[in-house]
A and B are shown apart, each in its own frame.
Chain A
Amino acid sequence: MRSGAEIALSLGVVALGIGVAAVTATLPSEGGYAGIGPNFVPAVVAGGVILLGLWLSVEAFAGGWRKLPEAEAPFQASPFLWVSGGLGIHMALIGSAGFVLAGTVLFACVARGFGSKRWARNVAVGIVLSIAIFLFFVKLLNVNLPAGWLQPILGAAGI
């Protein structure tokens, strides 16, 4: 069975290898006593990636990748996007809004992605968990995490 996804992935690996080779060409080659420089191993890796991509392509065109298990169920876009979106918002928010708020949003989005529509419960659990993790890391382990917009409240609590 020929599959478009397998062909695309295989060619993607080839393209990655070519990209690595292009970057490698810009690296210096002088290497002192060893006779090889910082570009030698990247060149080997680039060659390997291209060859593996070609090997995968051959399998993909000739009957598909070998011994591949079937998908367990049809792909569902909406849960995938909820999880991805949650991670995206978290990434954008954490610097300004802080760890607790960003974490709560992430928590609620991922829970929604897994099919839960109990927003109130999910937000509540998310906020309690985020605050617990925040306190544990900042207070006990001295790891620095951003308090963000909650600084006045978390600060007033002596943190």
Chain B
Amino acid sequence: MEALTALIDGFGVALKPMNLMWGFIGVTLGTFVGVLPGVGPALTVAMLLPLTVKLDPTGALIMFAGIYYGAMFGGSTTTILLNTPGESGSIATAFEGNRMARAGRAGPALATSALGSFVAGTIATILLTLLAPLVVELALKFGPADYFALMVFAFITVAAVLGHSTVRGLTSLFLGLLLGLVGIDSQTGQARFAFGVPELLDGVDVVVLAVGLFAVGEALYVAAYQSRFQATIERVRGSLLMSASDFRRSWPAWLRATAIGFPFGTIPAGGSEIPTFLSYATEKKLTRHPEDFGNGAIEGVAGPEAANNAAATGVLVPLLTLGIPTSATAAILLGAFQNYGIQPGPLLFQTQTELVWGLIASLYVGNIMLLVLNLPLIGIWVKVLEIPKELLYAGILVFATLGAYSLHQSWVDLATLYIFGLLGFLMRRWDIPVGPAVIGLILGPLAETQFRRALSISQGDASVFVTQPISATLLAITVLLVIAPWLVRRFRRTSS
């Protein structure tokens, strides 16, 4: 009940004309940039971060939530019409979505993905509203040792368990942790790894890292390996409307996908890759039209798209209530909070009620705006896809450098950006995931603070991490996650 009154107050904030306007600008820009091929939600959020430097925190964060949701909606348009998923969460949509478009059914595919995203996003936001206060209750019992254990858990799942290779995931994470060390140590004021460069004393900015890895690295990679290819855009022919049968086949998929996506978003499982594939597999198994799968089955679009949005909302639960980002995009959002001196976590719900509930309320509003923006105006977004590749990447880089330069008005940040670009190029070519590096950069310093705080309280006794129940449980689960796959393999080998 308390949550309900807080939410109503939140709507009071979100529906203020200025905040409505920031939200609207956010969803529009988010959709626009999200539609650009090769630009996923993480890069969209990172590139648009500089827009908000002079806004008040509430307006800026509402705009940011809009950008985040908008990027998700925009990405599905690109996936369906161009078959180039901008991020791993869209790969599953591409299977059936692009085939529908090629079969001349782009309209219903776009409609089911927009409606599915709306339904899943709204249900997931309701779940967020209900769940957040409960997690806050729990989180208030967390001490520094427990937070540290939770962060270690997040590191390991994101870096070691997901992806193709444990060692490459961990390498990426440690690069991020290393970059997180640069700057002034928050506990003692000691400068570390700054080499006397004033720009480095502030630490490595998450925007520079994310934009360097995702935008500059991607531009270098595409230029060097793919500049000869030009993708084909599928035209939107015929009706945008879904038939009664399309609708009958879509809505159960939306609901099932929400049930799959939301929980996966809330745990540190790397965002939306797993739930979207799970949803695709579920729909393929349950469908009454198995012959359509592989030829453009509408369930195969409805499910993964809804799962993607539900997971994106689920990610906000640990982000807002615990201050733990579980995807690269969430890490960048956390960076945006930190720019305003706001540390998400249970205390945020007590000290900044208006901001946090205004933000949650704005998610409901943003979802409605996006539905309106995406269905009738789809023609505009299709035009965006027709921007030639050379102009697209040139524009992205002009914008990317702007974000880095505006930090200190210094070329040093541009040099750093290019170095991260080279790093991103190497990581892309040799299949080292970039997400763990971004998460390591943001979460590393927080983990160090909690670690040292825990040891200060225990007067240097390191056993606190295994004697306190919450911390001990989390660390035990982490160890299990690491050794279980190895044990299973071992067991299979001996039994066969």
Contact = CB atoms under 8 A, between A and B. Distances in A.
Contact of B430 (A5, A42, A130, A145): A5
A41 interface: yes
A110 B418 contact: no
A114 B227 contact: yes
Nearest to B432: A9
A147 interface: no
Given A52-B171, A79-B224, A36 B409 contact: no
Contacts of A142: 54
Contact of A66 (B165, B216, B228): B165
Given A9-B430, A66-B165, A87-B418, A35 B224 contact: no
Contact of B164 (A13, A67, A77, A106): A67
B227 to A, nearest CB: 5
A90 B178 contact: no
A6 B171 CA distance: 14
A110 B399 CA distance: 13
Question: Which 9 A-B residue pairings sit nearest by Cβ, starting from the closest?
Answer: A35-B460, A114-B390, A79-B223, A34-B455, A110-B394, A116-B390, A111-B390, A34-B456, A33-B456
A110 B397 contact: yes
29 contacts: A27-B192, A31-B188, A33-B456, A33-B459, A36-B452, A38-B192, A41-B181, A41-B451, A48-B177, A56-B167, A76-B225, A76-B227, A79-B223, A79-B224, A80-B220, A80-B224, A87-B414, A87-B418, A88-B418, A91-B411, A99-B402, A99-B405, A110-B397, A111-B394, A113-B390, A114-B394, A130-B398, A133-B402, A144-B406
* Dominant secondary structure at the A interface: helix
Given A36-B455, A52-B167, A143-B53, A73 B225 contact: yes
Nearest to B392: A114
B429 A71 contact: yes
A33 B460 CA distance: 6
Interface residues of A, number: 77
Interface string A129-154: 11001000100011111100000000
Interface in B245-299: none
B368 interface: no
A69 B457 CA distance: 48
B51 interface: yes
Interface of A: 5-6, 9, 13, 16, 20, 23, 27-28, 31-38, 40-42, 45, 48-49, 52-53, 55-56, 59, 65-69, 71-73, 75-77, 79-80, 82-84, 86-88, 90-92, 94-95, 99, 103, 106-108, 110-116, 122, 125-126, 129-130, 133, 137, 141-146
Contacts of A83: 219-220, 223, 393, 397
B137 interface: no
B106 interface: no
B170 interface: yes
Contacts of A141: 51, 53-54
B390 A38 contact: no
Contact of A35 (B216, B418, B455): B455
A84 B418 contact: yes
Name the residue in B223, B388, B415 with the highest tally of chain A Cβ atoms < 10 Å from its Cβ.
B223
Given A33-B456, A76-B224, A42 B192 contact: yes
Contacts of B391: 111, 116, 122, 125
Contact of A106 (B188, B389, B401, B455): B401
Category for how many chain B residues contact A:
35 or more
B196 interface: no
A75 B224 contact: yes
Nearest to A115: B227
A104 B188 CA distance: 44
A24 to B, nearest CB: 8
B50 interface: yes
A126 B398 CA distance: 9
Interface string B210-230: 000000100110111111100
A73 B431 CA distance: 15
Interface string B116-153: 00000000000000000000000000000000000000
A146 to B, nearest CB: 7
Nearest to A75: B224
Given A94-B405, A122-B391, A31 B225 contact: no
